[in-house]
Amino acid sequence: MALRPLILFPATVALALAVLAGAADSNWAIPDAPYRAVVRLSNPPNVPDAGVAIDLPEFGQTLAGLTDVVLADADGKQQLLAPVWRFEGARAIVNAKELKPKQDYHVYFGGGKARRGLGGWMPRQGLFMETRRLPANARYESWSDMEATWRRATEVDGGGYVSAVYHGLNPFGESQNFCTHYIGYLMTGKAKEVYLYTQSCDASFVLVNGKFAFEWPGNHPAHANERTAKGGRVVCSTDGLTRIDYYHCKGAEPQPGPSMDLGWRQGGKLKPVPFDEFVHPGSVTIERIEDVANRPVPWVAVRLESCLGYNGYFLVHTVLSVPEKNLDGWTVQWAFDDGGVATGPKVARVLVGLRPMRATVQMTRGKETVRGVVRIDFAQETKEASVNEPADMAKYVELLTKDNATQLSLKALRPAVVFLREFGNEQAAAGFADAYLKRNPDSSDPAWLHAMLAKLRSLEQRDPKQALVEMRRIDANARKRYARYLDLFEMELLVFYLRDVSAIQRAMQISMDHQGTDIARVAKIRVGDLYRLQGKYKEAIEQYQGVQRAIADESGGRKQPAQDRAYSVAVQEMLLNGFRQEVEAKLQEWECAHPMGKLESDFLLQRARFLETLGRWGEALTELDSFEKLKPDSPYQIDITFYRAKAMFELGRKDEARKMWAEIATKYPKHPLARESRKLADGK
């Protein structure tokens, strides 16, 4: 049996929000209802008894049972209405029994008050799909298992009218660890029996007219053929409309992906049941939503600008906005489930998907307050940002650093710390790291090391002695677990910031603890760095050469200039592309391969450039000063001046820095750094 690719069919309900605020007119039929939607029929139902679905944006202003919703025509005469489904912050769906073409109707709602509308009418259910998160220890090996699982699944992803039982993903949430219930009517006409089958991944169960019919339980891929497809002949309703309940579960394994397909035998072949064989309600266009007092409507539009999968996290550049009509004199404030806050009618944040999030908007003018909520779902297709695009990463860093870290949840803090260390700088990450460590001091968490290093790196810029104290307070288990990183940090702190002679003894201990590794070699090289920064060049050379002698080199040093050049080119290329982790690894590889390269090549210049990308301006300035003292007549003098000016600018010596850039631009107009120097000198 050949099946078409599984696709997501569009919902039959059309929603076109044109204007979301407007002045109330004199025929406001339900005076105690603060809101009304003006709707007009756009498509009739394919079965009259299905009615017309009105899919309202729900912004926290309807009651759970939709008992506050009343439908009236333009003259205020109430119309028959049935509640269907309500999901706070997402949507509220009601079905009108009948709407005439080219006429406006008013749906009144809100105010927290139940109203006596014209009910008593039950539509033939159009095909409706709801998905929920699978509960813990979910079972779906039998229909009784499925019944129990659905009852226990209380975390709803979403729901809505759909075209067919034919999906290859969860349209309302993550496409694993979820369960589904479709309910609707199949137009079986005069047929007494039809053969139905299910093709699914994982389990599926089919009920016909409320009675269990057949199943394909357990975990399995969707592959089946004419002989192996699970199904059977079922008795149709005499009125030609046969009720179908289709339940489905998808477990934790992402591959193969989910599959939900109800099919039947037609012309001797098994085929998916097509769209036009299901009952579907009509649909409306929402012309506008109005407030009774002409206040702003707290309906929130959500736009997902881009998404980024990074280090096991899913980050989403999300923009939320409220209609700006009638906002004069109103202040707009936002509060998010992750602790984030913002102000203004339009806000942009980086949120952590994939699970839905809730945001509350509050608009205030004097003593008047209007509130709304929105559920932010991340299931829709979104443009992918790239870690290889500097502009993308700059935008994500900018948005993340606008948040107040002390207010954010651990869920938001964890990826922010990791991301900002990689693509921002230590200072940008430090506030998030400190907030994270205060809430989660567990060093077994993979993000702990990122947070601790960000905190210590930031502190060393301001108070290196205190940074050393804080590092030595780390408990023994964490020190042992992350010895590779913390020992190197300690050596850098002692050497580059404190010029502490105790680094010599500490290097000996680290060499013993990490015997035979690059860590041991780097510790010894740091002793040479200490001598170099103290101006003890003879001792520095002896230390570097002592390490160098342990490195096998059949060329007797002849290959080292070419090797240094290759390393330099590689580092510069990585810096240009923003590959900071790769730069750090390459620099360590370089100094381990040729310790004397610090005195014989541009290693110190390239390391300084790398340090500046991390915001370690003082350390970068130290390396540049050392490089210039070692090579006062080198061809890198303009480069040294340019990057020294960058460090000085960030350390507060802005006027001096601008003068240095201006001198480069004036005296060396053909140098590759001249154009950028002119822009920086002019403050651009």
**What CATH number does residue 586 fall under?**
1.25.40.10
Between CA 494 and CA 490 the distance in angstroms is 6
How many CB atoms are closer than 10 A to CB 127?
Answer: 27
Please report whether residue 202 resides in a domain: yes
**Residue at token pair 């569009």:** 10
From 230, 297, 296, select the one nearest 263 (Cα to Cα).
230
26 pLDDT above the threshold of 70: no
Q: Is the pLDDT of residue 391 over 80?
A: yes
Query: Is the CB of residue 69 less than 8 Å from the CB of residue 94?
Result: yes
φ, ψ (nearest 5 deg) of residue 511: -60, -35
Per DSSP, the three-state class of 201 is: strand
Q: Which of 248, 277, 306 is the last residue of a domain?
A: 277
Could you tell me which of 58, 251, 35, 254 has the C-alpha nearest to residue 159?
58
Helix (H/G/I), strand (E/B), else coil: 317: strand
Look at 323 and 134; give whichever has higher pLDDT. 134
Helix (H, G, I), strand (E, B) or coil at 2: coil
Out of 385, 403, 424, pick the residue that ends a domain: 385
Rounded Cα distance, 196 and 198, in Å: 7
For residues 373 and 359, the answer to whether their CB atoms sit within 8 Å is yes
Name the pLDDT band for 363 (thresholds 50, 70, 90).
Answer: very high
Strands in 357-365's sheet, in edge-to-edge order, are 341-343, 331-336, 357-365, 368-376
Q: Distance between terminal CA atoms of the chain?
A: 65
Q: Specify whether 112 is located in the same domain as 154.
A: no
567 and 641 in a single domain? The answer is yes
Range of the domain at 226: 128-277
Note whether 142 and 265 are same-domain residues. Answer: yes
CA pair distance 409, 416, nearest whole angstrom = 11
What's the token pair of residue 398?
């900018």
Q: Residue 345 maps to which CATH number?
A: 2.60.40.10
Distances (CA, A) of 547 to 108, 524, 559, 560: 81, 7, 17, 15
Q: Do residues 133 and 269 both lie within one domain?
A: yes
Rounded to two decimals, what is the model's pTM?
A: 0.83
pLDDT of residue 185: 97
**What's the number of CA atoms in the CB half-sphere (13 Å) around residue 419?**
29
User: Is 14 contained in some domain?
Assistant: no
Cβ–Cβ under 8 Å, residues 361 and 333: yes
Whether 206 and 304 share a structural domain: no
> Is pLDDT at 255 greater than 90 in this prediction?
no
Q: Does 156 lie in the same domain as 240? A: yes
- How confident is the model at residue 24, as a pLDDT? 53
Same domain, 315 and 265: no
236 shares its domain with 155: yes
DSSP, collapsed to helix, strand or coil, labels residue 88 as coil
Please tell me whether residues 161 and 54 are part of one structural domain. no
Closest CA to 432 of 448, 410, 417, 447: 417
Q: Is the pLDDT of residue 131 over 90?
A: yes
Q: Is 70 helix (H, G, I), strand (E, B) or coil?
A: strand
Mean pLDDT of the 181-203 span: 96
Note whether 349 and 399 are within 8 A (CB). Answer: yes
For residue 473, the model assigns a pLDDT of 93
**Structural domain includes residue 428:** no
Cα distances from 574 to residues 244, 419, 426, 567, in angstroms, run 59, 18, 19, 11
390 has a pLDDT exceeding 60: yes
Among 355, 385, 415, the domain boundary falls at 385
Report H helices in 517-596.
518-533, 537-548, 560-577, 580-593
Helix (H, G, I), strand (E, B) or coil at 331: strand
Q: Specify whether 148 is located in the same domain as 114.
A: no
Tokens of 416: 């922010």
Q: Return phi, psi of residue 282, to 5°.
A: -75, 175
Before 202, cis peptide (omega within 30)?
Answer: yes
Taking CA atoms, 422 is separated from 295, 387, 449, in Å, by: 45, 10, 13
For residue 115, tell me if it sits in a domain: yes
Name the residue with tokens 């403050």. 683
DSSP 3-state assignment of 18? coil
Token look-up 């993308």 returns 392
Query: What does the pLDDT read at residue 27?
Result: 87
pLDDT at 647 over 80: yes
Please check whether residue 535 lies inside any domain of the structure: no
Same domain membership, residue 53 and residue 136: no
Residues 45 and 106 in one domain: yes
pLDDT tens per residue across span 547-589: 998 887 766 667 889 999 999 999 999 998 888 889 999 999 9
Number of domains in the chain: 4
Summarize pLDDT for 428-465 with one digit per residue, the tens: 899 999 999 999 888 998 899 999 999 999 999 999 99
What does residue 577 show for φ and ψ, rounded to 5 degrees?
A: -95, 0
What span, in angstroms and rounded, lies between the C-alpha atoms of 121 and 73?
A: 17
